[in-house]
Chain A
Amino acid sequence: AQSVTQLDSQVPVFEEAPVELRCNYSSSVSVYLFWYVQYPNQGLQLLLKYLSGSTLVESINGFEAEFNKSQTSFHLRKPSVHISDTAEYFCAVTPGRGNMLTFGGGTRLMVKP
């Protein structure tokens, strides 16, 4: 079985500052990794994913995440956040079989002006 730990439940940050949202996972097999974003009262949107290949993956809105197999981590980063990035962010993993995603508890990113 897999487990996902998002180490920070809330991350307050000022606008234009850099941010890192941490995600660590535990699994006895290889996994695929995802970050989702949820704006208030909306469903989850896929932000980025790691399936294979380059360990650094990027989204279209400036976020990036790096898969670190030795540290079993998949931290999400953005060099300069905007007010509109305020949302809940979920890290998720799956071994691929059965398609079940295991989600972390979420991190609330609060961007202040």
Chain B
Amino acid sequence: SQTIHQWPATLVQPVGSPLSLECTVEGTSNPNLYWYRQAAGRGLQLLFYSVGIGQISSEVPQNLSASRPQDRQFILSSKKLLLSDSGFYLCAWSYSAPYEQYFGPGTRLTVT
């Protein structure tokens, strides 16, 4: 069966510090991968998605970036965090079809 991992589970970082969140998927190959952000009391915002190694599409302009160095690894990064980057970050994967996405446990990021 497939599993998806995210770490760290929680993170408190000062404004201006760098960020690296990691997501890995086990039990499948060549998945589509996604990063979402969920701000407090709000819905899901798609940040990035990837259909293959080195292929990243950005949905919103921001100070975040994503990379996919390996088939089942997806990394979310920032060089300098802003207060507005606080939130709950979710990684997800899917096959090409059917079309449902499967989510990881999330990372709670607090920027102070």
Question: What is A's interface to B at a CB cutoff of 8 Å?
Answer: 32, 34, 36, 41-46, 49, 51, 90, 94, 96, 99-101, 103-106
Contact = CB atoms under 8 A, between A and B. Distances in A.
A107 B102 CA distance: 19
A96 B99 contact: yes
A44 B43 CA distance: 12
Interface residues of B, number: 23
B104 A96 contact: no
B103 interface: yes
Interface in B1-57: 6, 32, 42-44, 46, 49
B103 A100 contact: no
A43 B23 CA distance: 13
Q: Give the one of B42, B46, B103 with max A CB within 10 A.
A: B103
B36 to A, nearest CB: 9
B61 interface: no
15 contacts: A34-B100, A36-B103, A43-B6, A43-B90, A43-B105, A43-B106, A44-B44, A44-B103, A46-B102, A51-B99, A96-B97, A99-B32, A99-B49, A100-B46, A103-B44
Please name the 7 residue pairs, one residue from A and one from B, whose CB atoms are nearest each other, closest first. Answer: A43-B103, A44-B103, A105-B43, A103-B44, A94-B99, A43-B106, A43-B105
